[in-house]
Amino acid sequence: MTSASLVGAQTLQTLCSFNDGPYPTATLTLGNDGNFYGTTEGGGSSGDGTVFNVTTNGVLTTLVSFVGTNGESPQAGLTLGNDGNFYGTTGEGGSSGDGTVFKVTTNGVLTTLVSFGFTNGAAPTAALTLGSDGNFYGTTEGGGITNSTFSFGMGTVFKVTTNGVLTTLVSFAGTNGASPSAALTLGSDGNFYGTTSAGGNINLNGDSGDGTVFKVTTNGVLTTLVSFGFTNGAAPTAALTLGNDGNFYGTTRGGGNDDPTVNGDSGDGTVFKVTTNGTLTTLVIFAGTNGEVPLAALTLGNDGNFYGTTEGGGNNINLNVNGGYGDGTVFKVTTNGTLTTLVSFAYTNGAEPWTTLTLGSDGNFYGTTEGGGITFTFSLGMGTVFRLLLTPVVQPTLTLQFLSGYPLLSLYGTLGDTYTVQYTTNLAAPNWTPLLIVPNLSLNPFQMIDPGGVDQPMRFYRAVQQ
């Protein structure tokens, strides 16, 4: 017996194309009702963005249209609270124009909980993270401390209660990071882990720095774990993902390669692993055709691998389309850095996915693209919602019959995979002995005769996927 895993063939389905509320740049969130909820940066009655829900068969409903005073330009996904409501942020709007924290019910009743005022943060572009204490934790890209390098402020880490009491935990100061644009990730130790897209070792790549990985306690004690240095990645804009091994996995939007013929001199981005004590391992360096500029966090699949998106690159790079940038990809990456491109977007089925994939209750992945799809009056398209169907591996099955007294085994499995057929003579205390290795299964079923013949003792058989 072997367990099924999410690999193999996959099919991309476009569930809907936006024509009102364009530019979905945020991750979808699975609700308790089985529908997905999300935001768009623009569109709606005032052009200031929306909150929507979408069913698994593509029925789209706009729940909220932002109008500036209650928020504007939401760029982050929603977070499901313990009360069944959703909580989120807008990058602009509110009473001071510096962004908001809001609560929204599943039927679209919006409550503004916080209006930022620069000194306590500005431009929250990341989703909130629900802490074990029932409060929400988040980041703002700007606000807080300012200096000549970061006149907009260097960003903050904050805590907010469900009734809107805001506490600023950290104001970044450049050398310990700047401009956090990603959500925090709750570690198994009760601390939060995150990234900043700038700051750190500020002399390595100009004055702004290449970004950091940090740890922060619930009372605001900040520890810088990694300062990126371009060749190992630059400008991480996505949240970290906790792996089954206790390490964190993430992406950087730039760095890695610095070939000026590929995406200028900013690099195509990386996938990395980092331990809780700050040991960084670069797993993947993107190179254009396998994707470039990953803006989103990785999603841990049921098979223990990570799945993600890149905004550009892929097999459909065309110098005459989208500036030769490519329309983006969906990829799978193992914990040791083996990358498989699952989808190369081709504009009509979506373009430039900014967002983290969401694992649905059906075992498939759901996501959005910022452009592409039906264009209407927008030449670049207004974005899509898609579903990625992943064909599970077929569990290997052996059948036994006899041919002129000889045991005839028929192996059914996943084409292309390798199996070992084994036998034992005692199921009570089995000692499995290899009988045959079947490399790269090419027939279903694959048939073989046990060479032991007709006079052998009783045997039990099994197939094991390699």
In degrees and rounded to multiples of 5, residue 94 shows phi and psi of 90, -175
Q: Which of 183, 177, 153 minimizes the C-alpha distance to 88? A: 183
Identify the DSSP state of 245. T
Condensed to tens digits (0 to 9), the pLDDT of residues 184-218 reads 999 999 999 999 999 998 764 456 899 999 999 99
Q: Are 441 and 413 in contact (CB under 8 A)?
A: yes
Q: Are 39 and 370 in contact (CB under 8 A)?
A: no
Q: How far is CA 104 from the centre of its chain?
A: 23
Condensed to tens digits (0 to 9), the pLDDT of residues 111-129 reads 999 999 999 999 999 999 9
Specify the pLDDT at position 2: 21
Q: Which of 4, 2, 1, 24 minimizes the C-alpha distance to 304? A: 4
Greater confidence (102 vs 433) lies with 102
Q: Are 306 and 251 in contact (CB under 8 A)?
A: no
Q: Mean pLDDT over residues 3-20, rounded? A: 63
Is 429 strand, coil or helix? Answer: coil
Specify the pLDDT at position 378: 46
Greater confidence (413 vs 113) lies with 113
Q: Which two tokens stand for residue 261?
A: 């013929």
What pTM did the predictor assign? 0.80
Condensed to tens digits (0 to 9), the pLDDT of residues 21-61 reads 677 889 999 999 999 999 999 999 999 999 999 998 889 99
In degrees and rounded to multiples of 5, residue 271 shows phi and psi of -115, 135
Asked whether residue 221 carries a pLDDT value surpassing 70, the answer given is yes
Specify the pLDDT at position 392: 56
* Residue 433: how many other CB atoms lie within 10 Å: 10
Distance from C-alpha of 157 to C-alpha of 67, rounded to nearest angstrom: 26
Q: Are 344 and 315 in contact (CB under 8 A)?
A: yes
Condensed to tens digits (0 to 9), the pLDDT of residues 294-324 reads 999 999 998 899 999 999 999 876 544 445 5
Distance from C-alpha of 240 to C-alpha of 238, rounded to nearest angstrom: 7
Is 117 strand, coil or helix? Answer: coil
- Which residues share a beta bridge with 88? 102
Q: Are 92 and 98 in contact (CB under 8 A)?
A: yes
Condensed to tens digits (0 to 9), the pLDDT of residues 317-359 reads 654 444 557 899 999 999 999 999 999 998 888 899 999 999 9
pLDDT grade, residue 258 (50/70/90)?
low
In degrees and rounded to multiples of 5, residue 25 shows phi and psi of -105, 10
Work out the percent of the chain whose per-residue pLDDT is above 70. 88
Q: Which two tokens stand for residue 441?
A: 């299964």
Q: Which two tokens stand for residue 177?
A: 């990071």
pLDDT grade, residue 156 (50/70/90)?
very high
Greater confidence (51 vs 383) lies with 51
Specify the pLDDT at position 308: 97
Burial class (CB in 10 A: 0-12, 13-18, 19+), 437: exposed
Contacts of 330 (CB under 8 A, 6+ apart): 12, 307, 308, 309, 341, 342, 343, 353, 357, 365, 367, 388
Is 452 strand, coil or helix? Answer: coil
Give the total residue count for the chain: 466
In degrees and rounded to multiples of 5, residue 322 shows phi and psi of 55, 35
